[in-house]
Amino acid sequence: MKHYEVEILDAKTREKLCFLDKVEPQATIAEIKNLFTKTHPQWYPARQSLRLDPKGKSLKDEDVLQKLPVGTTATLYFRELGKYARPLFIYLLFYFRVPFIYGHKYDFTSSWHTVVHLACICHSFHYIKRLLETLFGHRFSHGTMPLRNIFKNCTYYWGFSAWMACYVNHPLYTPPTYRAQQVKLALAIFVICQLGNLSIHMALRDLQPAGSKTRKIPCPTKNPFTWLFLLVSCPNYTYEVGSWIGFAIMTQCLPVALFSLVGFTQMTIWAKGKHRSYLKEFRDYPPLRMPIIPFLL
The yes or no reply on domain 4-80 and CATH 3.40.50.1820 is no
Highest average pLDDT, of 1-10, 157-166, 193-202, comes from 193-202
- Position 143 scores a pLDDT of 41
pLDDT in tens, 250-270: 999 999 999 999 889 989 998
pLDDT at 162: 93
Is there a contact between 109 and 97 (Cβ–Cβ < 8 Å)?
A: yes
Query: Please, which pLDDT band fits residue 85 given cuts at 50, 70 and 90?
Result: confident
**pLDDT-based confidence at 115, cuts 50/70/90?**
very high
Query: Residue by residue, what is the 3-state secondary structure of the chain?
Result: CCCEEEEEEECCCCCEEEEEEEECCCCEHHHHHHHHHHHCCCCCHHHEEEECCCCCCCCCCCCEHHHCCCCCEEEEEEEECHHHHHHHHHHHHHHCCCCCCCCHHHCCCCCCCHHHHHHHHHHHHHHHHHHHHHHCCCCCCCCCCCCCCCCCHHHHHHHHHHHHHHHHCCCCCCCCCCHHHHHHHHHHHHHHHHHHHHHHHHHHHHHCCCCCCCCCCCCCCCCHHHHHHHCECCHHHHHHHHHHHHHHHHHCCHHHHHHHHHHHHHHHHHHHHHHHHHHHHCCCCCCCCECCCCCCC
What residue segments make up the domains of the chain, in order of their start? 4-80, 82-281
pTM of the model: 0.76
Please classify residue 281 by burial: count the beta carbons closer than 10 Å to its beta carbon, then call 0-12 exposed, 13-18 middle and 19+ buried.
Answer: exposed
> Band of the pLDDT at 138, cuts 50, 70, 90?
low
Residue 146 pLDDT > 50, yes or no? no
